[in-house]
Amino acid sequence: MVILLLLLVLPFALAGPPWQVCSNGSKYAPNSAYLENLTLLSSTLPKKAASNATLFATDAVGVAPDTVFAVTLCRGDINASACEGCLSSAFQEGQQLCPYSKDATIYYDTCMLTFSNKNFVDTNVGGPNWNIQRSVLKFTASANSTRQMVSTLINSTAQSAANSSRRFWTSRLDDSSFPTMYCLTQCRPNLTAGDCASCFRSASQMMLQDLDRRVGCRVQGTWCSMRYEANKFFQGDPMLLIAASAAPPEVEKNVQQHSM
């Protein structure tokens, strides 16, 4: 039995404008040394990330108390040009969405920027900066069946990503009685495999906490990100093909739309 999906113009209501996390702490003044240092980073760091095979870069500019630390990361399936463009927009949007904030994180669909006046590059600041988005569409399969499928998908993909040199992986899950699902997981490539796996555990817990049979969900953090959908949202072929369990769940034939 094959589930039929309700098709929308948007494959999943997650793409679009950036999402920001702005600090309520200290602010910088207009025409300040901090702004000058942030502007300098915006002119160099996007190119630095785009020229890196992992699409990742960090840097720090200036002297205390006006030092700006920044981390940038693009999604592993996009090209260098798209990466540079995304990060350039993130720097620009960051100053507009978090005006005069010394500490901000900007998430786009394909890149992430975080900057601060504190040296966070080698410390875990992912917790406070999570961004979570959930699909408004739901499977009509049971909650347990959906949870089993999603858990298999995200955990298998996360394990592969944590064990890879780029800390990036994509996958597809196939089952005759459940819609095909796709997943993408990524960590900052400067993390150890253990730290990456730990971050994925936190992300998956948040994703599964309010799963509620949702067709898709995305969790983004400054250490790692995780996303699954019933539509292919990444470029290229899946790096991992996952076969569902031998005992497929019983499901109905439709997907219902619910508002969040």
Q: What CATH number labels 131-257? A: 3.30.430.20
Per-residue confidence band for 123, with pLDDT thresholds at 50, 70 and 90? low
The pLDDT score that the predictor gives to residue 28 is: 95
What are 214-244's pLDDT values in tens digits?
999 999 999 999 999 999 999 999 999 998 6
Partnered with residue 116 across adjacent β-strands are 69
Task: Please determine, looking at this structure, whether the domain spanning 19-129 carries the CATH number 3.30.499.10.
Answer: no
Distance CA 144, CA 245 (A): 14
Q: Average model confidence (pLDDT) for the chain?
A: 85
The pLDDT score that the predictor gives to residue 237 is: 97
Q: Write out the two tokens for 61.
A: 């500019």
Decide: residue 59, CB within 10 A, 0-12 exposed, 13-18 middle, 19+ buried: middle
Question: What are the extents of the domains in the chain?
Answer: 19-129, 131-257
Per-residue confidence band for 121, with pLDDT thresholds at 50, 70 and 90? confident
- Residue of 119, 115, 110 whose CA lies nearest to 84: 110
Q: How many CA atoms lie within 13 A of 150 on its CB side?
A: 30
The pLDDT score that the predictor gives to residue 10 is: 32
What are 152-199's pLDDT values in tens digits?
999 999 999 999 999 999 999 998 878 899 999 999 999 999 999 999
The pLDDT score that the predictor gives to residue 16 is: 55
The pLDDT score that the predictor gives to residue 122 is: 65
The predicted model gives 83-98 an average pLDDT of 94
The pLDDT score that the predictor gives to residue 246 is: 38
- Does 255 score more than 50 pLDDT? no
The pLDDT score that the predictor gives to residue 247 is: 36
The pLDDT score that the predictor gives to residue 84 is: 97
Residue 200 has what DSSP assignment? H
What proportion of the chain, given as a percentage, has pLDDT over 70?
Answer: 84
Q: Write out the two tokens for 2.
A: 């094959």
What are 56-81's pLDDT values in tens digits?
999 999 999 999 999 999 999 999 99
The pLDDT score that the predictor gives to residue 230 is: 93
**Shared fold status for 19-129 and 131-257:** yes
